[in-house]
Amino acid sequence: MLWIVLLFLVPVQSLKPVILVPGALASRIEAKLNKSERSHFYCSKTSDWYTLWLKLQSLIGPAVNCWADNFKMEFNEGVFSNTPGVETRVPGFGEGHTLDYVDNFSYIHYFKDLVDAVMSLPGAQDGVSVRSAPYDFRYSPPSKECELYFDRLKKLIEDTYKASNSSKVVLISHSLGGLTTSTFLNTLSEEWKDKHIHAWVSAAGVFGGAIKEVKVLVSHGVINLPDFVSNRLVHRNLARTVMGNYFMLPRSPIWGKDEVILQTPKANYTTDNFEQLFADMGVTDGAEKWKTVRDASFIGDPGVKTYCFNGKDIATSASFYYKDQKDFPDQIPETVSGDGDGTVPADHFRCVTSGTAQYR
């Protein structure tokens, strides 16, 4: 990702500060427990703050049951929340190296190379030139938690602008971070954006949603590990509780209403009949969860100079199908793959709707 730095930072007369908005699964989440009962006899009821995501050992063997019980969400009267006795927070907001790695062992690299590249440029200042804006990716608009995140992000931009001698900020987002950023920018006045934001760079933005979220909710969950290592259906059942997974589902008009996303011998499912898909999956509140977030994103004109980048020549899920009805939904469906960036098929790449946006 060094090319992003060179393209957007080096040509200007002074180094522009960067704020990073990560994608799904890339922010660390900490939890504190004060539960009235255990989900399993070997799970803790109480704890001080500890790493809930991502601590790799918590996903292995029986430990995954404890992790899933603490990570899952409740849904009551249209509102998503933690389950009783679970308090969560996102550490490292505003710091420079928060998003270097995804996991607690520093095994899964994320923004480290980009951060190191920016900090190696002349004039770079620690704690100013690169700042992270992680968030609890389980939540999405229109939640109160997301509104609070937008407030914190706005203040972070303002503080960074002041700390860098009134130098406008470059926002760099990845994947879900793009949809989050476009929705955030829509909440701000043109005057504020003209004053504080130099440009926004979206890498692999999922502006029309991600088709793999269908597989996540139907059969798989977000963790791709063998069943003997980590129970897939535990992950799948957890995924069905998480607000962000519904927010990332494919949506029209980028996905056509007659475009088959999942096929079984008895039904074809498109963005136009997700309600039926949820019912056939046995997720009784799935349709209500989907309706809560379906119209909460914004992909219109963000009001800032925008650059969108997507990869290519990577095998990417284009649709899914079951040969045998009895395998739906608990078995993993077959995948039809095509060209894309690993998340979004190439024929569904989109940038935000803007006269100033450039797509590459």
pLDDT tens, position by position, 157-211: 999 999 999 999 999 999 999 999 999 999 999 999 999 999 999 999 999 999 9
C-alpha 166/C-alpha 160 separation (Å) is: 8
**Per-chain mean pLDDT for the chain:** 93
Q: Is the peptide bond before 54 cis (omega within 30 degrees of 0)?
A: yes
| 1, pLDDT greater than 70 | no
pLDDT in tens, 68-91: 999 999 999 999 999 999 999 999
C-alpha 315/C-alpha 340 separation (Å) is: 6
Q: Residue 69: in which H helix or E strand, if any?
A: helix 63-71
Q: DSSP code of 311?
A: -
State the Cα torsion 136-330-59-102 to the nearest 10°: -40
**DSSP string covering 260-287, please?**
-SEE-SS-EE-GGGHHHHHHHHT-TTHH
What is the per-residue pLDDT for 6? 44
What is the per-residue pLDDT for 353? 63
- For the entire predicted model, the pTM comes to 0.94
| 101, pLDDT greater than 60 | yes
**Which strand ranges, in their side-by-side order, compose the sheet holding 358-359?**
130-132, 18-21, 169-174, 197-203, 306-309, 358-359
Number of other residues whose CB lies within 10 A of the CB of residue 131: 24
Smallest CA-to-CA distance from 203 within 182, 179, 172 is with 172
What is the per-residue pLDDT for 151? 98
